[in-house]
Amino acid sequence: MESVFSQTLRTFFLLISLLLFSSLTSLANAETQYHEFVVQQTQIKRLCETHNSITVNGQFPGPTLEVNNGDTLVVHVVNKARYNVTIHWHGVRQMLTAWADGPEFITQCPIRPGGSYTYRFTISGQEGTLWWHAHSSWVRATVYGAIIIHPKLGDSYPFPKPKRESVIALGEWWDANPIDVIREAMRTGASPNVSDAYTINGQPGDLYKCSSQDTVKIPVDSGEINMLRVINSALNQQLFVTVANHKLTVVGADASYVKPFTTKVLMLGPGQTTDVLIKADQPIGRYYIAARAYASAQGAPFDNTTTTAILEYKTATSNPIMPPLPAYNDTATATAFTTSFRNLEKALVPTEIDHNLVITAGLGINQCPPNTRARNCQGPNGTRFTASMNNVSFVLPSNFSILQAHQQGIPGVFTTDFPAKPPVTFDYTGNVSQSLWQPIQGTKVYKLEYGSRVQIVLQGTQIFTAENHPIHLHGYDFYVVAEGFGNFNPKTDTAKFNLEDPPLRNTVSLPVKGWAVIRFVADNPGTWIMHCHLDVHIGWGLATVFLVEDGVGPLQKLEKPPTDLPVC
Ligand SMILES: *[C@@H]1O[C@H](CO)[C@@H](O)[C@H](O)[C@H]1NC(C)=O
Ligand SMILES: *[C@@H]1O[C@H](CO)[C@@H](O)[C@H](O)[C@H]1NC(C)=O
Ligand SMILES: *[C@@H]1O[C@H](CO)[C@@H](O)[C@H](O)[C@H]1NC(C)=O
Ligand SMILES: *[C@@H]1O[C@H](CO)[C@@H](O)[C@H](O)[C@H]1NC(C)=O
Ligand SMILES: *[C@@H]1O[C@H](CO)[C@@H](O)[C@H](O)[C@H]1NC(C)=O
Ligand SMILES: *[C@@H]1O[C@H](CO)[C@@H](O)[C@H](O)[C@H]1NC(C)=O
Ligand SMILES: *[C@@H]1O[C@H](CO)[C@@H](O)[C@H](O)[C@H]1NC(C)=O
Ligand SMILES: *[C@@H]1O[C@H](CO)[C@@H](O)[C@H](O)[C@H]1NC(C)=O
Ligand SMILES: [Cu+2]
């Protein structure tokens, strides 16, 4: 039995440490924010039609979360809609909180209709713009919102404080139920229907039918310098963004600061964010903020419409001025933009590498077995579309999340044999023999020891067709040390590596018929999906999972799952 003395001593130390802890946290001014997200069916009218859509709290886009670096978020999600849902906090590092990451069947099972789950995580060391979105089927078409991360209280931006800040969340709208669109494509094996409109903060803008009145207005006053926090939350489309007659100074991306550079056009893949400063240095007037597709897949259908908002100087009433936009296939402009990023400070890029991976990413074609109904094989020449990384088309588990299976040692849910390099070497970006087009299916993960230093050469392929893929890694920011066209050549292309000030991102734009090299240190235990952020490609299997093992230290281990974690 414990003596009274030791009990008293223990209470004393407990009190001291509590006091110390609370004074430390009050020094940092970190706060805990509580939010209630009710996922629900909501009537939304766009393009002259009303649809029974899914929203958070009836808002479209959903609520903006505004926090300071260091704050903790507790978000209670209640699912009152008719589909499974999960919420992913896109780009939030989730240090030691993998259970709160959100992708269905990776870190949790879906929150079923009628269910709920509380996500708890801390924003740490990230400043700028991120976003949240559903990570289940195509629910994220309408279930998304911004996360604005200000510097810690008392800290400031590494640039003059903008007078105003506005979110520009780009989206995609179907004149249909998006869940029906993806289900139809999964049934037929063909490409899903393209969207009917792009949107800015949920509104298509005045180039579309029945939309003029609700066009988003971004107010400015002459002479001000304002910030636009641009997010590509579209489902399936990279977008060019521009503002008539104004220059844009890029200061951040994916919640990391960059060396400022000035441009007329931005290009964001789904998943990416870009913070820009814009100076109201033009005659008092109204200027369109416009976005349309960067569509790199040759011959593939895409939504060729243009969404607009209006940059509106105080008192201006004139007709808005329309900016020129790059052609849909202007890869040169996209590349000039993506290669302009430099980390603001000297970067802590790992120079020694423990895992040097080469991962191909691209589409594929599944031949239909004999006796398959023709209506289920409406891909090219009676096939079905698929996609893969290193020739493995990723299949989500259905009975356990990969994280739960890993932590509780449940066999049969996944295997750890994801290949470290392409199983077959071929001319990835050339004319690929059709004998290589059909990948295998599997739930294969790649294991990383805690703290290991990782380099991934992402190599695009021209299987069926080549295109730009926005590749997103959960649980990490990574340095993009180089990108280029053609096949990566380790003999010559390493000379192009920027190990001084490469940008830190969570989503890299993998060039069409090209490659990109990323580096990170595996310091966050959990199961982290890396996938193409075009939702049409995730569904086809363009994904893999990194299983990062626990470290030995006390702050290097993932805790037990929260008691309300949804199970399958
Ligand atoms: C997809 O487009 C086709 C052709 O326009 C149309 O018949 C079909 O209903 C659409 N599918 C959905 C789910 O909206
Ligand atoms: C896209 O639309 C533009 C007009 O906005 C038109 O000039 C162009 O030909 C279209 N491109 C395709 C591929 O449909
Ligand atoms: C872009 O497409 C147009 C036709 O739509 C074509 O004339 C032009 O050569 C293409 N440009 C590039 C860079 O592929
Ligand atoms: C479809 O069939 C034609 C004619 O047999 C062939 O030239 C083409 O390469 C095929 N395409 C695909 C995607 O299999
Ligand atoms: C989970 O599902 C997989 C695939 O269907 C199956 O092979 C495995 O046995 C299941 N595991 C358990 C524990 O039920
Ligand atoms: C690609 O290869 C196929 C045969 O494998 C050939 O029929 C086709 O003409 C080639 N295409 C090009 C553009 O070289
Ligand atoms: C993928 O694997 C399948 C089955 O082994 C094989 O037929 C195909 O050639 C492989 N393709 C590539 C690109 O490795
Ligand atoms: C919803 O999730 C459960 C697992 O939690 C799964 O069994 C079910 O099939 C899912 N429903 C749909 C429509 O995907
Ligand atoms: Cu893709």
Residue ranges covered by each domain of the chain: 11-150, 165-338, 355-556
The answer to whether the CB of 399 is under 6 A from ligand 5 is: yes
For residue 434, report the distance from its CA to the centre of ligand 7, in Å. 10
The answer to whether the CB of 329 is under 6 A from ligand 3 is: yes
Kindly report the protein residue whose alpha carbon is nearest to atom 14 of ligand 2.
Answer: 304
CB 40 within 8 A of CB 58: yes
Let me know if domain 11-150 sits in CATH 2.60.40.420: yes
What pLDDT score does 4 carry? 40
The tens digit of pLDDT for each residue in 448-494 reads 999 999 999 999 999 999 999 999 999 999 999 999 999 999 999 99
The answer to whether the CB of 298 is under 6 A from ligand 2 is: no
What pLDDT score does 25 carry? 46
Q: Using CA atoms, how far apart are residues 179 and 84, in angstroms rounded to an integer? A: 11
| One-letter identity of residue 411 | P
For residue 510, report the distance from its CA to the centre of ligand 7, in Å. 22
For residue 362, report the distance from its CA to the centre of ligand 7, in Å. 13
> Please, is 560 exposed, middle or buried when counting C-beta atoms within 10 Å of its C-beta (0-12, 13-18, 19+)?
exposed
Residue 351's nearest CA partner among 481, 221, 227 is 481
Q: Which residues of 55-86 are buried (b: 16+ CB within 10 A; e: fewer)?
A: bbeeebbbbbbebbbbbbbebebbbebebbbb
Taking the CA of residue 327 as reference, the ligand 3 atom at the shortest distance is 1
For residue 413, report the distance from its CA to the centre of ligand 5, in Å. 6
Is 299 in a helix, a strand, or coil? coil
Give the ligand at the shortest distance from the Cα of 441: 7
Q: Using CA atoms, how far apart are residues 110 and 136, in angstroms rounded to an integer? A: 7
What pLDDT score does 341 carry? 98
For residue 541, report the distance from its CA to the centre of ligand 4, in Å. 23
Could you check whether 11-150 and 165-338 share the same CATH topology?
A: yes
The answer to whether the CB of 380 is under 6 A from ligand 4 is: yes
The answer to whether the CB of 327 is under 6 A from ligand 3 is: yes
Kindly report the protein residue whose alpha carbon is nearest to atom 14 of ligand 7.
Answer: 424
What pLDDT score does 162 carry? 98
Kindly report the protein residue whose alpha carbon is nearest to atom 3 of ligand 8.
Answer: 568
Kindly report the protein residue whose alpha carbon is nearest to atom 2 of ligand 7.
Answer: 439
Give the ligand at the shortest distance from the Cα of 435: 7
Give the ligand at the shortest distance from the Cα of 395: 5
Kindly report the protein residue whose alpha carbon is nearest to atom 11 of ligand 8.
Answer: 84
Kindly report the protein residue whose alpha carbon is nearest to atom 2 of ligand 2.
Answer: 304
What pLDDT score does 28 carry? 57
For residue 472, report the distance from its CA to the centre of ligand 6, in Å. 32
What pLDDT score does 2 carry? 41
The answer to whether the CB of 151 is under 6 A from ligand 4 is: no
Substitution candidate for ligand 7 out of 440, 444, 459, 462 with most atoms within 8 A of CB: 440
Q: Using CA atoms, how far apart are residues 191 and 184, in angstroms rounded to an integer? A: 9
Q: How many CA atoms, within 13 angstroms, populate the side-chain half-sphere of residue 152?
A: 14
The answer to whether the CB of 304 is under 6 A from ligand 2 is: yes
The answer to whether the CB of 381 is under 6 A from ligand 4 is: yes
For residue 111, report the distance from its CA to the centre of ligand 8, in Å. 9
Whole-prediction pTM: 0.94
Give the ligand at the shortest distance from the Cα of 302: 2
What pLDDT score does 554 carry? 85
Q: What 3 state SS string does 500-561 have?
A: CCCCEECEEEECCCEEEEEEEECCCCEEEEEEECCHHHHHHCCEEEEEECCCCCHHHCCCCC
Strand arrangement of the beta sheet that strand 478-485 belongs to? 440-442, 392-394, 383-389, 355-367, 453-460, 514-521, 478-485, 504-505
The answer to whether the CB of 284 is under 6 A from ligand 3 is: no
What pLDDT score does 23 carry? 42
Substitution candidate for ligand 6 out of 431, 437, 463 with most atoms within 8 A of CB: 431
Token pair for residue 297?
């897949």
Taking the CA of residue 463 as reference, the ligand 7 atom at the shortest distance is 13
Taking a 5 Å cut-off on Cβ, the residues next to ion ligand 9 are 469, 532, 534, 537
**DSSP helix, strand, coil percent of the chain (3-state; round to 5):** 15, 40, 45
Taking the CA of residue 379 as reference, the ligand 4 atom at the shortest distance is 13
Domain 165-338: top CATH class: mainly beta
Pairing relationship of beta strands 453-460 and 355-367 according to DSSP bridges: parallel
For residue 305, report the distance from its CA to the centre of ligand 2, in Å. 8
Token pair for residue 439?
């990948």
Kindly report the protein residue whose alpha carbon is nearest to atom 7 of ligand 2.
Answer: 327
What pLDDT score does 257 carry? 98
The tens digit of pLDDT for each residue in 206-249 reads 999 999 999 999 999 999 999 999 999 999 999 999 999 999 99
Kindly report the protein residue whose alpha carbon is nearest to atom 10 of ligand 6.
Answer: 431
Taking the CA of residue 174 as reference, the ligand 1 atom at the shortest distance is 14
The answer to whether the CB of 23 is under 6 A from ligand 4 is: no
Residues of the chain with pLDDT under 70: 1-28
In this structure, the chain runs to a length of 568
For residue 329, report the distance from its CA to the centre of ligand 3, in Å. 6
For residue 426, report the distance from its CA to the centre of ligand 6, in Å. 15
Taking the CA of residue 329 as reference, the ligand 2 atom at the shortest distance is 13
The answer to whether the CB of 435 is under 6 A from ligand 4 is: no
Give the architecture-level CATH label for domain 355-556.
Sandwich (2.60)
Q: Using CA atoms, how far apart are residues 509 and 516, in angstroms rounded to an integer? A: 8
Kindly report the protein residue whose alpha carbon is nearest to atom 9 of ligand 6.
Answer: 431
